[in-house]
Chain A
């Protein structure tokens, strides 16, 4: 009876809604991923780490970069960051959103630096596609991704001739 009561005390219930996933560890080793539902675990042996799958909107504000022609430009990007691989994200990152931000910012800068900045609308459309691809390539390594990328602010420093009006 004592053993049964002790065993019952060890049992813990974990509730996983459909916007989260549970990573089940038994004796410290990852076993499987739990979908939506209610689970009973033996707290002494098992541990369930909850990973939130919902997006988090972020703004990568005022990233200065130099494009392929060495022009200085500034860009602010709004996007949703979310988990793509719960196991990888849960084990590779301590704080999934905040730890992804420096990776994303660096990827934005290098993606835009490869091209030529311009003020036209086409550039913004192209830049969004480039940023999404480059950031997702980097974030994929830690089980994260970005969606709904938008350029909320962009500025390209005019070249010297345009400022002074002097023909080069």
Chain B
């Protein structure tokens, strides 16, 4: 009987060592309530998870997590060329947050820069299609147009647009100066 117990214990040890060699040791990973993560197994995404405590096998699995707190974007004293060649001085203030961790992780190397990039692109493109004479009249309409464009672009990258507004918008000067 004792011999049988010893053999069973030995087999259990061998099994444990084999598991440790193949899968590593189990390790705990905690995601806070403002974090969302993606569990990877053998380098491939398995599932997206919310806050909580999870076990992972260190050799096979890994968590990549994102912070879902709002990312603030603020630009002051930026210049954009208007349709008629005048320069508009603008400032913007906006925020966005990650809603889909997997999309956000794949969207860019540094996905925290996505909201700033989208806000700047949409603002410059909208201003570029407008002559200086119309700038003062359609500030609200312009902001709505930018919000609508930015919202769909951010959603494609796993973000949700929270706020956007102009902090400054005026016709600054004549045409931009080239390298004549």
- Which A residues lie at the B interface, using CB under 8 A? 13, 15-19, 35-38, 52, 54-59, 62, 64, 72, 74, 76, 78, 80, 97, 150, 152-155, 157-158
Q: Which chain A residue lies CB-closest to B23?
A: A38
B window 11-64: CB within 8 A of A: 24, 40, 42-45, 58-60, 62, 64
Say whether B109 contacts A62, CB under 8 Å: no
Indicate which residue in A52, A59, A76, A158 contacts B109 across the interface (CB closer than 8 Å): A52
A51 to B128, CA, bound (A): 36
Please, could you name 16 A-B residue pairs with CB atoms under 8 Å apart, sorted by A? A16-B43, A37-B43, A38-B43, A38-B59, A54-B106, A54-B109, A56-B109, A56-B110, A62-B176, A74-B81, A76-B124, A78-B117, A78-B121, A152-B120, A153-B127, A155-B128
Indicate whether A74 sits within 8 Å of B176 (C-beta atoms), given known contacts A18-B44, A35-B43, A152-B121.
yes
Chain A: which residue is nearest B180 at the CB level?
A: A72
Which residues of chain B are near A76, meaning CB under 8 Å?
Answer: 124
Number of interface residues of B (CB under 8 A): 35
Cβ A36 vs Cβ B59 within 8 A: no
CB distance from B66 to the nearest CB of A (A): 13
Contact B109 A97 (CB under 8 A): yes
| CB-based nearest B residue for A77 | B121
Q: How far is the CB of B176 from chain A (nearest CB, A)?
A: 6
Measured CB to CB, the closest approach of chain B to A18, in angstroms, equals 5
A-B contacts besides A38-B62, A57-B108, A58-B117, 6 pairs, CB < 8 Å: A16-B43, A36-B43, A57-B114, A153-B125, A153-B127, A155-B81
A152 touches B109 (CB 8 A): no
Q: Are A157 and B175 in contact (CB under 8 A)?
A: yes
Is B178 within 8 A of A17, CB to CB? no
Judging by beta carbons under 8 Å apart, are A64 and B43 in contact?
Answer: no
B178:A13 contact, CB within 8 angstroms = no
Contacts of B62 in A (CB 8 A): 15, 17, 38
B136 CB → nearest A CB, Å: 20
Asked if B42 contacts A38 (CB within 8 A), the reply is yes
Contacting pair A158 B85 (CB below 8 A) = yes
Q: Are A150 and B121 in contact (CB under 8 A)?
A: yes
Complex interface: chain A residues within 8 A of B114 (CB): 57
Known: A56-B110, A152-B128, A153-B81. A17 touches B179 (CB 8 A): no
Residue contact B125 to A13, C-beta cutoff 8 Å? no
| Cβ contact within 8 Å between B45 and A54 | no
B127's closest neighbor in chain A, by CB? A153
| Closest partner residue, chain B, to A62 (CB atom) | B176
Give the interface centre of B40, B43, B44, B85 by most chain A CB atoms within 10 Å.
B43
Q: Contacts A56-B109, A152-B128 known; A15 to B176 CB distance under 8 Å?
A: no
In the complex, the answer to whether A153 meets B80 with C-beta atoms within 8 Å is yes
Residues of B with C-beta under 8 A to A59: 117, 120-121, 124
Question: Knowing A17-B40, A72-B180 touch, does A154 contact B128 (C-beta < 8 A)?
Answer: yes
Cα A13 to Cα B60 in complex, Å, equals 10
* A37 contacts across to B, CB distance below 8 A: 42-43
Chain B, Cβ-Cβ closest to A64: B178
Closest CB-CB distance, B130 to chain A, in whole Å? 12
Ranked nearest first, the 3 interchain pairs of A and B with the lowest CB-CB distance are A36-B43, A72-B178, A155-B81
